[in-house]
A and B are shown apart, each in its own frame.
Chain A
Amino acid sequence: MSVWLKQLSIDRLQRQAREAKPSVGDSTRPVSSRVSAPVVIAGKHGPVEVLVAVDAVAERLGLRPGLGLAQARAMHPGLTVLPEDRARDSHLLDEIADWCQRYTPLTGVEAPDGILLDITGCAHLFGGEPQLVDDLAERIAGLGFSARIAVASTIGAASGAARFSETRFVDTGRERDFLSVLPLAALRLPAETVMALARVGLKTIGDLIDLPRAPLTARFGGNLLRQLDRALGREFEPLMPRLPVAPYVAEQRFAEPIAREEDVLAVTERLAMQLKPLLEYRGEGARQFELALFRTDGRVHHVTVATSRPLRDAQDIRALFVERLTALADPLDPGFGFDVARLAVLRAEPRPPEQIDLASHADPGDLDRLVDRLSARFGARRVSRLLAHDQHLPELAATASPAQSTAGDALNWAAFRQFRFAVDLSPRPPRLLAKPEPIEAIAAVPDGPPVRFRWRRALHEVVAAEGPERIEGAWWTDEQGPTRDYFRVEDSTGCRFWLFRAGLYRATSAPSWFLHGLFA
């Protein structure tokens, strides 16, 4: 199925105008009749500015897309000209494509103004193809877009039918008859090819179908015949979905829109329960979920949660969404309510069926569940496990990584311990500052410990010090900075710090001091 939004950018501007002035109301009247002055959108195509879209009033005045802006202005001085904004148009198109996911998960974008839907196997959910098309046409008009819709068994035929004919349904097997009357532009060819074909007298697709193929390919390139074959169904053309198609999807439609968060969560749990047998059947569990909530006014909310282990249990899934919804930066705005909810598993991993262990007290799943809940609430990067690395610089030797992605990974601490005993590593502080903080220190030259230092405006008198422990960055990169001499010092109150001098006295005239960690 192809949906052609023939006035996408005009519709976008009118929708904006309507949102800005809600008092105008009365959305049943055709949008364009309210706008008295003709509106056109102009953009630079090559050296000249041309009209790229015109509204209904301007169209009646005889203005067409492709006309030069100067010429149009000369014809109608009262013209309202607005600049083209392709980025926003394409963003809007993406949003409409997302909205179309309520009909089928396989929706693609046909830039700049078309949407493709693979409705194979979906139409019966709406009572058949005509009903689906009617439903879509009605809803999309309600959203304020003028759209032409066509259904065919090939992408090319549907797209051509939507743009160049009034036909809504092209029967399977009759693509050839249907297409032969359409102009060549319906084949989605570059404008130059269409012009070149017109010059040799080929105007409709019918002119082309029975011509010998080899000379055509030689003259116009392989693309021409490929497009023809694809439109006729001789060659399969895959639809490129805009979003990856989820391996597991469950959805629910509501006769009456739902708005309350509890209802949303209850529906989520119900959908998760529907997914469970499917996941179990294939021996998989979900690592990432996406809940899509389709608002009645066309907006689609996507809420994503990740898990640290393959998950199937509906209760757990619900619990994750509870945290995620609470933590949303802009709370879920239901508007007039959601009328479709869809729960999709974006990523699944094998999960062997597990034996329930009656004896065990603490199953490791509990901790994973906690990690998932905390990650859903605060974001995965805020819940971390500590990892050891084979590095010398302290900040690189141990790092924190998201606990969700490191579940079950080796954290390398056994190797670190071996290394520590092997080289008799001096003590490390239990707390390390995110960045070494510069301090003012007075120290004995050339490599003595500081005698006193000032950190965060407080003066510390050093009474005991141990060091230096010299740590060099990797010699093959300069990013790690100069050599550091670390000292473990204790001040007169008993607080212990880990300080270092960056640079050696003979290398730099004024080495700087930093405080890096705090000992217990």
Chain B
Amino acid sequence: MTEPQTLSFAPAGLDGTSVLARLRHALVTKNGGESPPLLPLGVAPVDDALGGGLEGGILHEIAAAREAEASAASGFALLLAARTAGPVVWIAEDMALYESGAPYGPGLDDLGLNPERFIMVAAPKSRDVLWAVEEALSCRGMGTVIGEIRQASLDLTATRRLSLAAGRRSAVALLVRSAPGRDASAAATRWIVKAVPSRAAKPRAMTLGPGPPRFALSLVRNRRGPPGSWVLEWNGVEQRFELVSAHRERVAQAAVDRSPPAASA
């Protein structure tokens, strides 16, 4: 499958797990057979693993591998948001805005995200972030809702609520965290983002300058397909991701992140 599959139930060319995943999804989604809106990343192996693209109307978690890489995680989230249509609401707690800076219009524009679509909300506490994300998700015509949370642990109830709120509309809901969560989550996918030295960076190649940004993505949880790891590069000129390398083996974190049963959470 080379093209992102945006229609449901295309029997030809799909392997068994993928069909099963789709059927299961069709059962759990409220509107039965109707396929959810998908947001393809434009990189075939990633879209394949996601079953066509990042699903709308459901929660996705994007965590930085470590605190220092929070800007890579938020950059990836903004790049995803740039690919949706409609307003983008960014909700962050004060501490996050202080630690890693507030969204800056010209920089968003560089990422292909029109600042006119952008609404920024500074919430005093992480609890307020969750509330505001839920509010924003229940708004019609929303493109992407991004909540940035620094708090280390989030309970299952919180992510479930967000997931349900996202399910009422078709907006892409992204939860950006400054460190990978060790807790159970109701998110459909969980990503761990790491910054990777860019192409041009050779030791002491000071004159060349940094190349286009690269992200090492680990899909540690994926409801609709297998997990995986890829290194993507953002091509700012053509406004698309390019695959640098792929490692389709399971990453170590997957074992940790497998959700325990809800009762024990």
Contact residues of A with B, CB < 8 Å?
Answer: 361-363, 366-367, 369-371, 373-374, 377-378, 382-388, 394, 397-398, 400, 403, 411, 413, 416-417, 420, 425, 427-434, 448-449, 458, 462-466, 488-490, 492-496, 517-520
Q: Are A386 and B210 within 8 A (Cβ)?
A: no
Distance, CA A449 to CA B229, complexed state (A): 34
Known: A378-B132, A430-B111, A519-B71. 16 other contacts (CB 8 A): A361-B141, A362-B140, A370-B135, A387-B105, A398-B104, A425-B106, A430-B103, A431-B71, A431-B74, A458-B68, A464-B209, A465-B206, A466-B210, A494-B214, A519-B107, A520-B215
Q: Once the chains bind, are A463 and B213 in contact (CB under 8 Å)?
A: no
Known: A383-B121, A518-B101. Is A420-B71 also a contact (CB below 8 A)? Answer: no
Contact B139 A519 (CB under 8 A): no
* A-B pairs with lowest CB-CB distance, top 10: A520-B75, A362-B141, A466-B209, A431-B101, A430-B107, A494-B195, A398-B105, A518-B71, A432-B104, A428-B106
- Is the pair A495, B106 in contact by a Cβ cutoff of 8 Å? no
Report yes or no: B121 in contact with A413, Cβ–Cβ below 8 A.
no
Contact B78 A371 (CB under 8 A): no
List A contacts of B211 (CB < 8 A): 464
- 15 residue pairs bridging A and B, Cβ less than 8 Å apart: A370-B135, A378-B122, A385-B116, A388-B105, A398-B106, A416-B106, A428-B109, A431-B101, A431-B103, A449-B206, A463-B203, A493-B68, A494-B196, A519-B107, A520-B79
For B121, list chain A residues within 8 Å (CB). 374, 378, 382-384
| Closest residue of B by beta carbon distance from A462 | B206
Within the complex, the shortest CB–CB distance from A320 to chain B, in Å, comes to 12
Partner of A496 from the list B97, B102, B123, B195 (CB cut-off 8 Å) is B195
CB distance from A205 to the nearest CB of B (A): 61
Bound complex: CA A378 to CA B205 (Å)? 47
Q: What is the 8 Å Cβ interface bit string for chain B, positions 81-107, against chain A (1 contact, 0 not)?
A: 000001101000000011011111111
Do the beta carbons of A495 and B72 come within 8 Å of each other? Answer: yes
B25-84 interface (Cβ within 8 A of A): 68-72, 74-76, 78-79
Q: Are B119 and A371 in contact (CB under 8 A)?
A: yes
Bound Cα distance from A403 to B74, whole angstroms: 22
Interface pair A388/B102, CB less than 8 Å apart = no
Q: Judging by beta carbons under 8 Å apart, are B118 and A385 in contact?
A: yes
List B contacts of A495 (CB < 8 A): 68-69, 71-72, 195
Nearest A-chain residue to B108, judged by Cβ? A430
Question: Nearest A residue to B234 by beta-carbon distance?
Answer: A520
Q: Give the docked Cα–Cα distance between A518 and B70 (Å).
A: 9
CB distance from A441 to the nearest CB of B (A): 14
- Complex alpha-carbon distance, A269 and B165, angstroms: 26
Q: How long is the Cα–Cα vector from A380 to B118 in the complex, in angstroms?
A: 16
Question: Contact check: which of A369, A373, A394, A520 meets B74 at CB < 8 Å?
Answer: A520
Residues of B close to A400: CB separation below 8 A? 102, 120
A403 vs B117: C-alpha distance in the bound complex, in angstroms? Answer: 12
Q: In the complex, what residues of A have CB within 8 A of residue B197's CB?
A: 463, 490, 492-494
Q: Smallest CB–CB gap between B17 and chain A, Å? A: 32
Q: Which of B196-226 contact A (CB under 8 A)?
A: 196-198, 200-206, 208-211, 213-215
CA distance A464 to B72 in the complex (A): 17
A428 adjacent to B107 (CB under 8 Å): yes
Q: Is there an interface contact between A430 and B200, defined as CB atoms closer than 8 Å?
A: no
- CB-nearest residue of chain A relative to B145? A370
A356 to chain B minimum Cβ distance, whole angstroms, is 15
B260 adjacent to chain A (CB < 8 Å): no
Alpha-carbon distance A416/B106, docked complex (angstroms): 8
Contact with A along B149-185 (1 / 0, CB 8 A): 0000000000000000000000000000000000000
Q: Cβ of A464 and Cβ of B206 under 8 Å apart?
A: yes
Tell me the bound Cα distance from A244 to B35 in angstroms: 55
CB contacts (< 8 Å) of A463 on chain B: these are 197, 201-206
Among residues of B, the one whose C-beta sits closest to the C-beta of A463 is B201
CB distance from B212 to the nearest CB of A (A): 10
Q: How far is the CB of B126 from chain A (nearest CB, A)?
A: 13
Q: Does B5 contact A (CB under 8 A)?
A: no
Q: Closest approach, in angstroms, between the C-beta of A29 and any C-beta of chain B? A: 48
